Amino acid sequence: MSPFTRRLLLTGAGLGAAALGTGIAWRQLHPPQASATAQAFWARRFPGLDGTELAVARWRGRPLLVNFWATWCPPCVKELPEINQFYKEAKGQGWQVLGLAVDQAEPVKAFLQKAPLDFAVALAGPEGLGLVRELGNPAGGLPFSVVFDETGEISWRRLGVSSLEDLRLLIKN
């Protein structure tokens, strides 16, 4: 290989590496915008059980499992211990869980006295059924879970009971 060819190859490789580095830096400084559905979710606030308002944006930036449930929904009540176990196992790896009760405050408080949960719980109220439709559950059924990834986009949905095994697979993906 001639010195000119070698110099040309090295220059091309250097320019390619510089372009790649510039692209990576650009994406870090200018992350992609989340979809309109995701942006609307991240802008929401929900009443907490203690009367304070919880801004969903506080959970953005790490994987978030959002579970819609109600005290009057037997399948919801059945899956909550498994979601709680998932949270205990996955929080060390950056996972967060938010339970949104499609219910009133008093029944939720009474339920949590009997079956405490380690993750955050807020009230979606009756409007929560509209929200589950917006998030990709046209039937509006419960239980319904959705995962938002680190970028704030929806990466997984489940209508019906989620098993601990199903949830553990999320950690591996």
pLDDT tens-digit series, residues 2-34: 776 666 555 655 545 545 555 555 455 545 567
Same-domain pairing of 96 and 51: yes
Same-domain pairing of 72 and 15: no
Cα(105)–Cα(70) distance, integer angstroms? 11
Within the chain, residue ranges assigned H as helices are 3-29, 36-42, 74-90, 105-114, 128-134, 164-172
Same-domain pairing of 1 and 71: no
Same-domain pairing of 89 and 148: yes
Confidence check: pLDDT of 41 > 60 = yes
The reported pLDDT for the residue numbered 76 is 98
pTM across the whole model: 0.81
Mean pLDDT to the nearest integer, 49-68: 96
Mean pLDDT to the nearest integer, 128-139: 96
Same-domain pairing of 132 and 162: yes
Mean pLDDT to the nearest integer, 145-159: 97
